[in-house]
Amino acid sequence: MSYAPPSPSSLRSEEHKPVIPWALWDAGASSFHAVMTTFVFNVYLTSELFGSKNHTSQALSIGLAAAGLVIAVTAPVTGQRADRGGSRRKALAVTTAAVAVCVALCFFVRPDPAFLWLGVGLIAAANVFNEIATVHYNAVLPSISTPETVGRVSGLGWSFGYFGGIIALVIVLFGFVSPGLLGIPEDDSLNLRAVALFSAIWLAGLSLPILLRFPGATAPESGYGAATGRMVSAHKESWVDSYRRLGRTIRRLYRHEPVALRFLIASAVFRDGLAGVFTYGGVLAAGTFGFSTSQVIVFAIAGNVVAGLGAVVGGRLDDALGPKRVIIGSLSGLLIAAAPLLLVQSPGLFWVCGLALCAFVGPAQSASRTYLSRLTKPGDEGEYFGLYSTTGRAMSFLAPALFALFVGLLGDQVWGILGIMIVLALGLALAVRLPTRP
């Protein structure tokens, strides 16, 4: 499938589609990813306030691994049922609201070991709801774009996510942490707990535009179920029937579209490794490399800027070299950049290697999505991108489980990096076998 620049007619056709409201949801979700799970709240949760760093990071990994298993069981059919029942908007609203509630409740996680598992449980539950909400969010993409502009619209969403995370982190840094312009006292870690309330409000507020201007396309109009040309209500279909339908789709891919199936498996593995880089970046910066909370947030801001710029450069290389070469180069670069951190625990080295890791994450994410776009047949976009989302979420337990395993086996938090590297290496080995151009 060759690339064609957007035609004037296709651009005019999108003038009244809620592209910006759709992208704003990603900017809102970034407060959960950047502030809660990566650079602020999880760092607080794995600090010595809740016990030894090895115990707290293992507890967090166990919670995230459990969340990943729940996602693996539920995510593959929740998007399918919402599409078939015509309830995608309701599903996105409910799951987004559930994320906001779980995040807000993190305010009650006081700095005491007795509250560790409450914090882990809330973060794990928020992860489940967030990943399922993302399934519904990604499924909207075919409804607000055309085949000629889907890449531009998708890229806009990525950029809103990165820069939304930067803005949220800047507000947290100067408003809550240092110098704490909002004047929230640090006693009982009140300022860090208040960050959870801010994140919940940020997520809910930026999610409202797409819920108010939700595209009205039904499933067949947006590509889902185009093969049958009709939509059957999920309310008349049991969950068992939904899983059977999923099984038939996978069998069809296995028999008739093996490249698509191999890509979905490979990308599910290496995308979990990419998620692990961001999930444990702040935890390792504070627990192993001695960063303060303010230093972690400054690093997070720099990392998001580098990741965004890396995605832009990776997009140009994607057009010139093809998405597979960008994926292979990015995953190789990630493994090379991570290796020195196992040998030397220096804050300066973490800055260098950490920013290098961020630079390679952006291109890998971008090229992964464009590879699938080149595989997708007109009229099947919703089904393909739904599978892309759900397979990625289904494998989201790998990095947390291996991180916890190696911390437990080798007795030091830094060895969790090895677990993430193994996931990336496995994804690389699977990606190497894909066709250079789909």
- The amino acid occupying position 333 is G
The winner for highest mean pLDDT among 128-137, 154-163, 382-391 is: 128-137
Query: Which of 84-98, 123-137, 183-197, 378-392 comes out lowest in average pLDDT?
Result: 378-392
Provide the pLDDT for residue 148: 58
In this structure, which CATH number among 1.10.1040.10, 1.20.1250.20, 3.40.1010.10, 3.40.50.2300 belongs to the domain 17-209+239-432? 1.20.1250.20
Q: Best-predicted range by mean pLDDT among 14-28, 75-89, 338-352?
A: 338-352
The winner for highest mean pLDDT among 243-247, 355-359, 388-392 is 355-359
Kindly compute the dihedral angle of the four CA atoms of residues 347, 350, 355, 357, in this order, to the nearest 10 degrees.
-170
Given a cut of 60, is residue 3 above it in pLDDT?
no
pLDDT value, residue 377: 67
- Predicted confidence band of residue 123 (pLDDT cuts 50, 70, 90): very high
384 has a pLDDT exceeding 60: yes
Going by pLDDT thresholds of 50, 70 and 90, the confidence category of residue 371 is: confident
Q: Quick: pLDDT tens for 393-427.
A: 678 788 888 998 999 898 888 999 999 999 999 99
Please report the pLDDT score of residue 104 as a whole number: 97
Q: What is the per-residue pLDDT across 284-312, written as a single tens digit (0 to 9) for each? A: 888 889 888 788 888 888 888 888 788 77
In angstroms, rounded to a whole number, what is the distance separating the alpha carbons of residues 216 and 89? 9
DSSP 366-412: HHHHHHHHHHPPTT-HHHHHHHHHHHHHHTTTHHHHHHHHHHHHHSS
Does the pLDDT value for residue 327 go beyond 70?
yes
Instruction: Using alpha carbons, list the distances in angstroms from residue 220 to 79, 86, 136.
Output: 14, 10, 15
- For all residues of the chain together, what is the average pLDDT? 82
Residue ranges of domains in the chain:
17-209+239-432
Q: pTM for the full model?
A: 0.76
Higher-pLDDT residue of 16 and 9 is: 16
- pLDDT over threshold 80, residue 202: yes
Give the pair of three-digit tokens for residue 31.
């407060």
